[in-house]
Amino acid sequence: MAITLNSSLQFLKSIGPKRADLFSSIGVNTVHDLLYYFPTRYLDRSTILNSDKVIKFVASGYNKDITIIGKVVDTEEIRFGKSNIYKVSFKDDKGFFECVWFRGIKFFRNRFKEDDYYAISAKPVITKYGHLQFAHPDFDKLDSEESLNFRNTGKIIPFYKIPAELKKQNLSDLSLRRVISTAVEQSIEEITETLPPEIISKNNLLNLKSTIRNKHFPESTGILERANYRLKFEELFYIESLIALKKSSTKKLENGIKYKIDVPLVKDFLNSLKFKLTNAQLKSLHEIRLDMENGAPMNRLVQGDVGSGKTIVALIALLIAVSNRKQTAFMAPTEILAIQHFYNLKNMLSEFRINVELLIGGQKAKEKKLTYDKMANGIPAIYVGTHALLQEKAKFSNLGLVIIDEQHRFGVAQRSSLITKSSTPDVLVMTATPIPRTLTMTLYGDLDVSLIDEMPKDRIPIKTYLRSDSKLDKIYKFIIDSVNKGLQAYIVYPLVEDSDKLDLKAAESYYNELNNSVFDNNNVGLIHGKMKWDEKKEVMQLFSDKEFDILISTTVIEVGIDIPNANIMVINDAHRFGLSQLHQLRGRIGRGAEQGYCILVTSDALSKKQFDATFNFDYLSDAEIQKNKTIIRLNALVNNTSGFTLAEIDMKLRGPGDIYGLKQSGLPDFKYANLVEDQEILLEAKQLAFATIEKDPKLSSSENEIIKKNLKLFYKDNFHYSNIA
Ligand code: ADP
Ligand code: MG
């Protein structure tokens, strides 16, 4: 039977129905799927050294992973103290080397057979007997023919992830390689190109057939790089096309509100402030104003580091909308932040006859009902709240502007649910999580972006220190001294907002302990997520009014809280927080004209591992970075105040996906591209995608047919994301 791209895998030689089922379980059903089942790594002759070279390298101080190939000559198990060591000796053209295992011996004992060839990768050492040794290495079995071939011809060998179940069925690397090789030979000609020819030629891309072939069996590392480039480019191009389509379809809508700007009102408001807006704030404001005056609905992201002054920009937009007799929703991710915004807005707008209402889950039903009624009756006001604003009962009848503060704390789904709730209000989302530019382009690619890239002038950069918990007494003394000078301090514990009673008890016991000992003579407050909303409100009010000198807190204060007189923050167990979370927390201080101090408290051992300010972790290998993640994170914070720099570091440490909501964004997963490493490819792909959609917004021209077809094919699950479906 002839094999085609759509054939089930069971018809391939040495697969059969049983193995085919196992492949199905990882989503590989057809020959086509198998062609796209790419290797996870390669063994490349140019990176392989003979044992004599390795010994010289190690002797001269080289201490990174190395790959070497050898034939097994002996295996033995040696008694060593209470346990055993398993040792395998190898031979290559230029000498001998050995691999040792101290743990999991059972697993290795029967693996290595004499005369088998292996590729071994690990950090080499030289033992006191002068032997070249690798401890707990990665290893790949090679067949002798292959390994010889490989040496002689310089072929690059692919390694695939073989699911555990298939390994149990004795599907070896070797046999999988053979199966795939056959599939490539028999079916590659059937593969149809997925990018338009002009894009391929203009960007000098490898065509799809060579890409697939070389991804499995690269003729050279150079061509493998081109294959990788093509796959990444294509992936990013299609994702960016999806985003461009979405953006162009919202842009087209002309049913937005054309606001009239009451210029004297805005001027009066600006004059009532104690400060002048920064140029970056003015620029964002100008962009927002143009959007609001325009008939197309606003869809804008205001991005600015913590403390850059986003609230005031939002406030002016709210002022404009309400003075046009519209309802506005101002949504915050936590009750504490919503409450703060509510009081601030009320305060600042008291002279301007603007209604400000609060809606949060913790309110009494009666109170909420009053607000619901106002909403339903179309009363123009600023409705400040949490996701309570999204509830069924909250029915706006005249919604003109939605502002979402700290957008990264909400899922994208929530963003759109508010937006579709009424006709088409203007939407402004604000985020302080500084996101690397590439990610902004992807995650918020359908939004226009205003960047507040300038801090108010009077700010002094916060000084950050890493200290051992054995120094807490000194730290407390520093707090008391500062408090005596009229400043205020936060002491934060790593308790999560929604966690159980135990955490709550812990927060309370810290509070009792400190309040009754070192801070005996100070006024100390406590705030945590389990409090009722009016209790939270009261504590924040008391802290804001300087009735408390010190506020002991969980991470409930992480986002948005703005008390400029509080200038010291002690973060306990700082190693338990993520980088962006630490930056957000730290952003609570240094908001006024005083020097801010942030003290990261951690275990003694960790605090001793400080790197100096010039330390650059680009010099570390990936493995070393992973091993030292915690201390790198803490040092990054000590040495940087820019959220954008920290975000880049964070992405390098953690990968982009899970931190910034890419997973919940409704965008497809990235299979090939990496948003940290592939920024340039992304830029090119984005430009091309946006230019294409701008010229042909419905992808109706014949040369773009292929793009439209593949978009539907690749992203049928994500297609709701765009509106051309
Ligand atoms: P974020 O961008 O983190 O939301 P906020 O809007 O809370 O920051 O502003 C931080 C603090 O800076 C607030 O106390 C605010 O009143 C103040 N602020 C905002 N703009 C300016 C400015 N142009 N000059 C001085 N202070 C400002
Ligand atoms: Mg804010």
Predicted pLDDT at 134: 93
b or e along 326-346 (b: 16 or more beta carbons within 10 Å of the residue's beta carbon)? bbbbbbbbbbbbbbbbbbbbb
Q: Whose CA is nearest to atom 9 of ligand 1?
A: 309
For the CA of 276, the nearest ligand? 1
Cβ 430 under 6 angstroms from ligand 1: no
CA 308 – ligand 2 centroid, Å: 8
Least confident segment among 120-129, 197-206, 336-345, 554-563: 554-563
Question: Which of helix, strand or coil describes residue 648?
Answer: helix
Cβ 303 under 6 angstroms from ligand 1: no
CA 560 – ligand 2 centroid, Å: 4
Residue 723 DSSP symbol: S
Cβ 643 under 6 angstroms from ligand 1: no
CA 475 – ligand 1 centroid, Å: 28
Tokens representing residue 608 in the block: 């001793």
233-257: average pLDDT: 82
| Alpha carbons 662 and 674: distance in angstroms, whole number | 12
Could you report the per-residue pLDDT of 383-399, keeping only the tens digit for each?
Answer: 999 988 888 888 899 99
Cβ proximity of 323 and 257 under 8 Å? no
Residue 667 has pLDDT above 70, yes or no: no
Could you report the per-residue pLDDT of 446-486, keeping only the tens digit for each?
Answer: 788 888 988 888 788 899 999 998 999 999 999 999 999 99
Kindly give the number of the ligand 1 atom that is closest to the alpha carbon of 308: 2
Cβ proximity of 316 and 285 under 8 Å? yes
Could you report the per-residue pLDDT of 600-658, keeping only the tens digit for each?
Answer: 998 877 776 665 444 555 556 666 677 778 888 898 899 888 888 888 788 777 765 55
Could you report the per-residue pLDDT of 175-205, keeping only the tens digit for each?
Answer: 888 889 989 999 999 999 999 999 999 999 9
Cβ 593 under 6 angstroms from ligand 1: no
Tell me the sheet residues that pair with 576: none
Could you report the per-residue pLDDT of 289-305, keeping only the tens digit for each?
Answer: 999 998 888 989 898 88
87 falls in which pLDDT band (50, 70, 90)? very high
**Per-residue CA distances from 398 to 135, 251, 386 (Å):** 69, 21, 19
Cβ 309 under 6 angstroms from ligand 1: yes
CA 280 – ligand 1 centroid, Å: 12
Cβ proximity of 292 and 261 under 8 Å? yes
369-378: average pLDDT: 95
Kindly give the number of the ligand 1 atom that is closest to the alpha carbon of 278: 23
Tell me which of 272, 312, 452 to substitute to probe ligand 1's pocket, judged by most ligand atoms within 8 Å of the beta carbon.
312
Question: Is the model's pTM score more than 0.75?
Answer: no
| Alpha carbons 302 and 434: distance in angstroms, whole number | 11
Could you report the per-residue pLDDT of 551-579, keeping only the tens digit for each?
Answer: 998 877 777 778 888 999 999 999 888 88
Instruction: Answer yes or no: same fold for 1-42+160-191 and 45-155.
Output: no
Cβ 456 under 6 angstroms from ligand 1: yes
Tell me which of 285, 301, 305, 308 to substitute to probe ligand 1's pocket, judged by most ligand atoms within 8 Å of the beta carbon.
308
Predicted pLDDT at 721: 46
Q: Is the dihedral of CA 698, 703, 707, 708 positive or negative?
A: positive
Q: Where are the domains of the chain?
A: 1-42+160-191, 45-155, 263-452, 463-640
| Alpha carbons 492 and 555: distance in angstroms, whole number | 7
Q: Whose CA is nearest to atom 23 of ligand 1?
A: 277
- What is the dotted CATH code of the domain comprising 263-452? 3.40.50.300
Q: Whose CA is nearest to atom 19 of ligand 1?
A: 309
Cβ 306 under 6 angstroms from ligand 1: yes
For the CA of 564, the nearest ligand? 1
Residue 446 DSSP symbol: T
Question: Which of helix, strand or coil describes residue 597?
Answer: strand
Neighbours of ion ligand 2 (CB under 5 A): 560
Written as one string, the DSSP assignment of 462-497 is: PEEEEEEGGGHHHHHHHHHHHHHTT-EEEEE----T
CB-CB neighbours of 413 under 10 Å: 10
Residue 315 host element (H or E):
helix 310-323
Burial of 676 (0-12, 13-18, 19+ CB in 10 A): middle
Predicted pLDDT at 724: 40
- Residue 216's contacts (CB-CB under 8 Å, 6 or more residues apart) are 35, 38, 39, 158, 180, 181, 184
Cα angle value 650/656/658 (rounded, 5°): 100
**Per-residue CA distances from 424 to 299, 315, 334, 564, 601 (Å):** 10, 20, 25, 36, 48
- The overall average pLDDT reported for the chain is 84
Residue 81 DSSP symbol: T
Cβ 312 under 6 angstroms from ligand 1: yes
Predicted pLDDT at 537: 85
Residue 663 has pLDDT above 60, yes or no: no
Cβ proximity of 319 and 352 under 8 Å? yes
Cβ proximity of 41 and 157 under 8 Å? no
For the CA of 309, the nearest ligand? 1
For the CA of 344, the nearest ligand? 1
83 falls in which pLDDT band (50, 70, 90)? confident
Predicted pLDDT at 613: 43
Burial of 466 (0-12, 13-18, 19+ CB in 10 A): buried
CA 18 – ligand 1 centroid, Å: 64
For 574-671, where are the E strands, in sequence order? 597-602
Predicted pLDDT at 237: 94
Predicted pLDDT at 153: 47
Cβ 564 under 6 angstroms from ligand 1: yes
What is the bridge-based pairing of β-strands 138-142 and 117-122? antiparallel
463-640: CATH topology is Rossmann fold (3.40.50)
CA 330 – ligand 2 centroid, Å: 12
Residue 258 has pLDDT above 50, yes or no: yes
Burial of 279 (0-12, 13-18, 19+ CB in 10 A): exposed
Can you tell me which residue has the tokens 């850059």? 308
Can you tell me which residue has the tokens 């088998």? 116
Cβ proximity of 299 and 357 under 8 Å? no
Tell me the sheet residues that pair with 330: 384, 403
Cβ 307 under 6 angstroms from ligand 1: yes
Residue 443 has pLDDT above 90, yes or no: no
For the CA of 589, the nearest ligand? 1
Predicted pLDDT at 139: 83
Predicted pLDDT at 356: 97
Least confident segment among 9-18, 269-278, 481-490: 9-18
Tell me the sheet residues that pair with 566: 488
Kindly give the number of the ligand 1 atom that is closest to the alpha carbon of 273: 16
| Alpha carbons 402 and 375: distance in angstroms, whole number | 14
Superfamily of segment(s) 45-155: Nucleic acid-binding proteins (2.40.50.140)
For 531-586, where are the E strands, in sequence order? 550-553, 566-571
Cβ 311 under 6 angstroms from ligand 1: yes
Residue 45 has pLDDT above 70, yes or no: no
Dihedral angle computed from the Cα positions of residues 106, 109, 110 and 116, in that order, rounded to the nearest 10 degrees:
150
CA 306 – ligand 1 centroid, Å: 9
Predicted pLDDT at 99: 94
209-222: average pLDDT: 93
| Alpha carbons 676 and 669: distance in angstroms, whole number | 15
Predicted pLDDT at 320: 96
Predicted pLDDT at 621: 63
Could you report the per-residue pLDDT of 409-434, keeping only the tens digit for each?
Answer: 665 555 555 555 456 889 998 987 66
Question: Which of helix, strand or coil describes residue 151?
Answer: helix
Predicted pLDDT at 725: 35
Give CA 470 to chain center in angstroms.
33
Greatest extent of the chain over all pairs of C-alpha atoms, in Å: 89
Predicted pLDDT at 614: 46
Question: Which of helix, strand or coil describes residue 593?
Answer: coil
335 falls in which pLDDT band (50, 70, 90)? confident
CA 311 – ligand 2 centroid, Å: 6
CA 406 – ligand 2 centroid, Å: 7
Cβ 562 under 6 angstroms from ligand 1: yes
Range 1-42+160-191 classified under CATH 1.10.150: yes
Least confident segment among 82-96, 431-445, 622-636, 666-680: 431-445
Residue 510 has pLDDT above 50, yes or no: yes
CA 365 – ligand 2 centroid, Å: 28
| Alpha carbons 436 and 570: distance in angstroms, whole number | 27
For the CA of 302, the nearest ligand? 1
Predicted pLDDT at 656: 55
Tell me which of 269, 272, 275 to substitute to probe ligand 1's pocket, judged by most ligand atoms within 8 Å of the beta carbon.
275
For the CA of 456, the nearest ligand? 1
